[in-house]
Structure 1
Amino acid sequence: MTTTAQRVREFPLPDVGEGLVDAEILAWHVRQGDRVTDGQVVCEVETAKASVELPIPYDGVVHRIHAEAGATVAVGAVIISVSVDTGADGPDGPDDPGAPDAPGAPAAGAPEPEAPAARQPVLVGYGAAPGRSGRRPRRRNGATAPAPAAPATPPAPAALPTPPAPATPPVPAARTERPAAKPPVRRLAKDLGVDLAAVVPTGAGGVVTRADVHAAHAAPPARDVVPAAPPAPTAAPPAPPAPDAAPVAPAVDPSRSGGETRIPVKGVRRATARAMVASAFTAPHVTEFVTVDVTRTMALVRELKRDPELAGLRVGPLLLVARAFLLAIRRHPEVNARWDEENQEIVRTDRINLGIAAATERGLLVPNIKDAGGLTLPRLARALGELVATAREGRTTPAALAGGTVTLTNIGVFGVDTGTPILNPGESAILAFGAVRERPWVHKGEVRPRQVTTLALSFDHRLVDGELGSKVLADTAAVLEHPKRLLTWA
């Protein structure tokens, strides 16, 4: 028998963003004793910018997982170690030392589904490779050898002819794979104190949806019914009595206890808090306001929605506000700049990377459209739609969040007229688009009902003086009042 030499390789948390300090482990897709291959996603982390899947860079068997899900780990700290074969026996050689110590690891003859064909490695920070299913394949040492024994074990679960309804609760407890759910859904479940393993999925392919989490949270009595169904009802009452049920989710309804709720600030929310404090107390903010008649712009939006060239694209007032803002910046390119603190210089750039503030379940994200100033209206509409959809689904990458030069935030969707937006760190200006309301307005010498909105422009006074900021804001308003200028000023 040929022996296989092994050594343990440690995998530290890499810097998947720009200047990443730490990240929270959202979920592990492997456990101790699992066999992994080069490029296989082993865990999912939430950085200060985005949710990122981490692939392992070598083949081997999971020797140890050093950080549990929910832990915040510093960049460079070891998160997983893998026993790597250094001999020539191949991936299906002798048993690895890590496997016998694995809690709950299957026996040599236990069936395990064959892993699908090898897929392309996932690039760090760019999500999963196309075509990857919601559930990660598991590879275990010796999984292929006992394949003929696979039919012997399925009868065991089938031999549990106990009541069909109670059979569902034990399933999550016996799962070897984590429940399939998107990162925002996992965050929601964590905030509500809902165990995803106890949620019955209704999404396609067995994916847990937001509605499933809300349903599980809104039906606490169902938890008391489940323990009553098994043959040992006497053991169930002590576990979930009413006094013990409240601490399970103390943050759900603080009014019930009359106390306070403490919510740990991690990931995006912590990064946003730090960035806003740094921005507010570093860059001298100036905010200017203008109220503008956008009746013609709203009429143009209705026409564009019927245009076949824009069919299926995201067409709304925000699209034309973005277009007007970009046009104003192109007329005054010196506003598209950043402050270099180290060299005490103003750095101007030709590319306008337009950030769009998006409120998501993970917190405030500001992904940006690269070189937005050079896009046609249909391409801008497509980019805007993709950016918003990606942010809401929790798939925004660190690259999409870096390099912005100016930002547009739509506070009007919340019914807010105006505000004083804080600059995204490193950017020169941010424009807030308020609610569009029908108001009495002097139009052609007469008071008439017109659709009116208020724009607020905050800018860094180290880069932009009052005259320049006023010109950018005035030109943006002028285009929205007379949208034909989209053609004449282009």
Structure 2
Amino acid sequence: MTTMTEASVREFKMPDVGEGLTEAEILKWYVQPGDTVTDGQVVCEVETAKAAVELPIPYDGVVRALHFPEGTTVDVGMSIIAVDVAGEAGGDPVAAPVAEVPAQAPAQAPAAPEKKPEAAQAEAPRADAPQAAAKPVGSGRQPVLVGYGVAASSTKRRPRKGPQTTVSRVPDTIQAELNGHGGAPAVKERPLAKPPVRKLAKDLGVDLATVVPSGPDGIITRADVHAAVAPAAPATEAAPVAEPAPQVTQAPVTTPAAVPVPSYDTARETRVPVKGVRKATAAAMVGSAFTAPHVTEFVTIDVTRTLKLVEELKQDKDMQGLRVNPLLLIARALLVAVKRNPEINASWDEAAQEIVVKHYVNLGIAAATPRGLLVPNIKDAQAKTLPQLAESLGELVSTAREGRTSPAAMQGGTVTITNVGVFGVDTGTPILNPGESAILAIGAIKLQPWVHKGKVKPRQVTTLALSFDHRLVDGELGSRVLADVAAILEQPKKLITWS
């Protein structure tokens, strides 16, 4: 176990990288103990309920400890990495040495230190109290990253229920001292297991605290995790053997064959913890569905002319190098419809009992990513030219697919588009993004028989669906908006005449 010099070590705490978020999961460490870091260097990637964010270190120095392994959910304000900044001027050093936590298996706790006389303990403050366990000093948390807001200290956390996966780090020396004095309950030791075994347990839904270890020094192995998943083999009761009848030779008793125990190496079920983006999305959708009274309207239209315009724009020199597709013109059509019907671009203020009409459009685009559904938005989309809108759409989609969408990019949306057509789906009834009053769903574009100029011809056809909050959007307003979008996509020249 490595101990660092008190005066030269600084602790970097988990920052609030969103608006009042209380925790984040460490996805990946980019540094290891012994590495040299510089101010502004990214040291890890964390995932909050809103996005994955890379955290830069604000110090120059040498990494001495990573307090939590990858995959751990850590409270905001907890120290996650210690840096030896010997020779650096300024800044507040930590108040105590901190023990390094190896990524593979934590070291065993040292023997409890000698007890101080009670009188001396009452007079002297605890110099070895962990920084993470102390409450922040002052009126609120200090911002760690430039550009990220922090929640005020008066904000109360929502009480948690059920078993907690968040780890609150307490040095082993403190645990031993508390146990020796009996003045506080003992801190439960973290089960010893290597990262691959922890991931296996996570995938199979096994609580490592319930697993009996069989490895050296009490380390949990893969076999231990599988044994915890597989039910114990039922005990085979011996069949009663009747006493032999008189003058009858007893036949040998045959032991029944053992019932084979099925192999559970491949689980028939996989339990995925609900956290991060998935947890936030679930809570938001439930809140939206049961708060805002949804109404959905549908219209099926001929978009052949729109697709022809898309092909022409691809050859335009002003659009070279930009992503030009039907979504671009659908987004422009919705922006024009909002301009003609501004009341659709609004939100409901329950506390003030007011309808807030927005005079700007932050256009959200629902994007399916490996981390779940994200809805980043294009700020002030109504003010962008078609090339600018195409550039913004391209950047938004690329960033989302690469998992680099920032929390700020998903805040402040006013109206959203979701393209279910890319999955071959004809239509759907989309749920509103919380705080918005309308969402437009685009279905698959298919070649279908269609009456065109009095004759049945093959045409490119799609179905649009518009869901809206019926508290502030009545049927007339919602129908007008959907009809305007449909009219523009059937006759794209209206993009000029209605703009």
Residue of structure 2 in register with 1:416 after alignment: 425
Query: How far apart in 1 are the matches of 2:13 and 2:50?
Result: 19
Which amino acid is the alignment partner of residue 406 of structure 2?
T
Which amino acid is the alignment partner of residue 341 of structure 1?
E
The answer to whether the 8 Å contact 1:287/1:420 transfers is: yes
Aligned equivalent of 2:292, options 266, 275, 283: 283
The answer to whether the 8 Å contact 2:68/2:101 transfers is: no
Q: What secondary structure sits across from 1:330 in the alignment?
A: helix
How much does 1:192 deviate? 9.2
Query: How far apart in 2 are the matches of 1:443 and 1:408?
Result: 28
Residue of structure 1 in register with 2:59 after alignment: 58
Which amino acid is the alignment partner of residue 458 of structure 2?
P
How much does 1:445 deviate? 2.2
Aligned equivalent of 1:385, options 360, 382, 394: 394
- Normalising by structure 1, we get a TM-score of 0.65
Q: What secondary structure sits across from 1:282 in the alignment?
A: coil
Residue of structure 1 in register with 2:463 after alignment: 454
Query: How far apart in 1 are the matches of 2:389 and 2:264?
Result: 45
The superposition leaves residues 356-403 of structure 1 with CA deviations (integer Å, 9 ceiling, x where unpaired) of 111111111111111111111111111111111111111111111111
Please show how residues 282-301 of structure 1 align to structure 2 within 5 Å. Answer: 282-301=291-310
Which amino acid is the alignment partner of residue 38 of structure 2?
T
How much does 1:265 deviate? 2.1
How much does 1:84 deviate? 4.2
Query: How far apart in 1 are the matches of 2:66 and 2:294?
Result: 46
Aligned equivalent of 2:477, options 457, 468, 477: 468
- % same residue: 67
Pairing 1:444–2:453 present? yes
Q: What secondary structure sits across from 1:448 in the alignment?
A: strand
Please show how residues 237-252 of structure 1 align to structure 2 within 5 Å. Answer: none
Pairing 1:325–2:329 present? no
The superposition leaves residues 394-441 of structure 1 with CA deviations (integer Å, 9 ceiling, x where unpaired) of 111111111110000111111111000011111111100101112222
Residue of structure 1 in register with 2:139 after alignment: none
Pairing 1:426–2:435 present? yes
Cα distance 1:189–1:486, how it changes in 2: closer, same or farther (>3 A)? Answer: farther
Residue of structure 2 in register with 1:395 after alignment: 404
Residue of structure 2 in register with 1:45 after alignment: 46
Q: What secondary structure sits across from 1:48 in the alignment?
A: coil
Cα distance 1:87–1:327, how it changes in 2: closer, same or farther (>3 A)? Answer: closer
How much does 1:98 deviate? 7.6
Pairing 1:32–2:33 present? yes
Which amino acid is the alignment partner of residue 317 of structure 1?
P
Pairing 1:315–2:324 present? yes
Which amino acid is the alignment partner of residue 470 of structure 1?
S
Q: Which has the larger radius of gyration?
A: 2
Deviates more, 1:33-42 or 1:78-87: 78-87
Q: What secondary structure sits across from 1:15 in the alignment?
A: coil
Aligned equivalent of 2:370, options 352, 361, 373: 361
**More helix per residue:** 1
The answer to whether the 8 Å contact 2:45/2:54 transfers is: yes
Residue of structure 1 in register with 2:68 after alignment: 67
Cα distance 1:87–1:410, how it changes in 2: closer, same or farther (>3 A)? Answer: closer
Which amino acid is the alignment partner of residue 40 of structure 1?
Q
Residue of structure 2 in register with 1:133 after alignment: none
Cα distance 1:87–1:467, how it changes in 2: closer, same or farther (>3 A)? Answer: closer
Which amino acid is the alignment partner of residue 424 of structure 2?
G
In the alignment of these two chains, the number of paired residues is 356
The answer to whether the 8 Å contact 2:66/2:101 transfers is: no
The superposition leaves residues 94-115 of structure 1 with CA deviations (integer Å, 9 ceiling, x where unpaired) of xx9889x7979xxxxxxxxxxx
Query: How far apart in 1 are the matches of 2:267 and 2:376?
Result: 39
Query: How far apart in 2 are the matches of 1:391 and 1:352?
Result: 20
Which amino acid is the alignment partner of residue 287 of structure 2?
A
The answer to whether the 8 Å contact 1:6/1:86 transfers is: no
Pairing 1:479–2:488 present? yes
How much does 1:29 deviate? 2.1
Query: How far apart in 1 are the matches of 2:399 and 2:440?
Result: 22
Aligned equivalent of 2:349, options 334, 337, 340: 340
Query: How far apart in 2 are the matches of 1:57 and 1:43?
Result: 13
The answer to whether the 8 Å contact 1:406/1:429 transfers is: yes
Query: How far apart in 1 are the matches of 2:454 and 2:6?
Result: 90
The answer to whether the 8 Å contact 2:23/2:75 transfers is: yes
Cα distance 1:414–1:319, how it changes in 2: closer, same or farther (>3 A)? Answer: same
Which runs of no fewer than 5 residues in structure 1 stay unpaired?
90-95, 105-120, 127-187, 194-239
The answer to whether the 8 Å contact 2:336/2:498 transfers is: yes
The answer to whether the 8 Å contact 1:5/1:86 transfers is: no
Cα distance 1:67–1:359, how it changes in 2: closer, same or farther (>3 A)? Answer: same
Query: How far apart in 2 are the matches of 1:47 and 1:337?
Result: 28
Cα distance 1:11–1:255, how it changes in 2: closer, same or farther (>3 A)? Answer: same
How much does 1:60 deviate? 3.9
Deviates more, 1:470-479 or 1:295-304: 295-304
Q: What secondary structure sits across from 2:290 in the alignment?
A: helix
Query: How far apart in 2 are the matches of 1:378 and 1:25?
Result: 38
Q: What secondary structure sits across from 1:426 in the alignment?
A: coil
The superposition leaves residues 242-279 of structure 1 with CA deviations (integer Å, 9 ceiling, x where unpaired) of x89989x99xxx99847211112221111111111111
- Normalising by structure 2, we get a TM-score of 0.64
Which amino acid is the alignment partner of residue 51 of structure 2?
A
Residue of structure 2 in register with 1:160 after alignment: none
